[in-house]
Amino acid sequence: MTPAPQLETPVLFLVFNRPDTTKTVFKEIRRAQPKRLYIASDGARSSVSGEHEKVAAVRAWVVDHIDWDCDVKTLFRRENLGCKQAVSGAISWMFSMEEKGIILEDDCLPSPSFFSFCEDMLDQYEGAERVLSISGYNPLGAVGWSDDIIFSKYFFSWGWATWAKCWGIYDAEFSAYLKLQRSGNLPTVYPGPLERAIRSRRIGACLNGGVDSWAIPWNVTHHMHQRFSIVPAASLITNIGFSNTDATHTKANKWDIAFYNHSGDSKVVNSIVKVRTPVEDKRFTRKFLRREAVRSILKIMAEKYQAMISVFLARGGER
């Protein structure tokens, strides 16, 4: 039997302190056998007991289990930089040596067709000025989309790919957004008041230090440049990080579990498709925005309710 060809596109595997999810995701990387594998890990947090040992064990396990012909490079931080700096820095590190690449975190389990989908889209749309990235994850799932790919104004970070030239415009500090906000021209990018409110809340959380995210500024970079992410008509990623106590952003969360399709779909997505002029799929935008709006409103209400309970309990339950 002829072995499957090795994956030509380099892969960046982002790991940290979760051996179980790391091993599961790594098995799929091993099946794809990329010819060039980049492994990056943030440093352990000194405030978390036992994390140094976990981080060291994960790093050693991954390196020890690369058993195919592969050029391996590692970026193992000594200090903890946090999610935003560690991940964005690792992506920049890979793209200092590569023109394009696939990025997988340690809780994003790819389906068998994920790697070929990313590789085909990277090749087919490399010259498309309005395409900034390829997302392997579809939060709405396979719900009767008319094409195998969707041009989305929203980027999804659970398993994705891009080109070095595109990552070069990553705006970590939201400078373009803030400039547009000061000029009063945000409606040119976010026409609806609800979408502006959702974006403002999330960006504000990043700017005030409440959320440590690289993905939110990368998403907003897509919006500010009016560029798209190619999304498959069925999700090619299952997030296996929910309910994991070591997760950064996907700890057991009833809002995320209720509103996100966090499991991969069984539908096979044809990645050998006719190259089309990128045009926003507004049906996808409307459906996703509606879901985001409901999720955000319910989450805000729950947080306020929880805060009221906390105050009540802190006062000893006085009436």
For the stretch 108-139, pLDDT in tens is: 999 989 999 999 999 999 989 999 999 999 99
- The ranges assigned to domains in the chain are 11-314
Residue-level pLDDT at 223: 97
For residue 231, what is the DSSP state?
A: E
Does the domain formed by 11-314 have CATH 3.90.550.10? yes
Burial class (CB in 10 A: 0-12, 13-18, 19+), 47: exposed
In order along the chain (319 residues), what is the average pLDDT of each group of 10 residues? Answer: 79 97 97 98 96 98 97 98 97 98 97 94 94 95 80 96 98 97 95 90 94 97 97 92 57 48 53 75 89 73 63 50
Euclidean distance between CA atoms 222 and 152, whole angstroms: 10
Phi, psi of 109 (to 5 degrees): -85, 115
Is the entire prediction scored with pTM above 0.85? yes
227: which 2 tokens?
């560029």
- Compute and round to an integer the Cα radius of gyration of the chain: 20
Distances (CA, A) of 289 to 256, 278, 293: 15, 20, 6
Neighbouring CB atoms inside 10 A of 239's CB total: 24
Phi, psi of 35 (to 5 degrees): -70, -25
- H helix or E strand, kind and range, residue 75: strand 71-76
Strand partners, 160: 103, 135
Euclidean distance between CA atoms 84 and 172, whole angstroms: 9
Residue-level pLDDT at 80: 98
Residue-level pLDDT at 86: 98
Q: Which amino acid would we find at residue 96? A: S
Cβ neighbours of residue 316 closer than 8 Å, sequence gap 6 or more:
none
Among 117, 214, 213, residue whose Cα is nearest residue 160: 117
Euclidean distance between CA atoms 276 and 266, whole angstroms: 25
Residue-level pLDDT at 250: 46
For residue 230, what is the DSSP state?
A: E
Positive or negative CA dihedral for 267, 120, 84, 166?
A: negative
Cβ neighbours of residue 76 closer than 8 Å, sequence gap 6 or more:
39, 40, 41, 43, 59
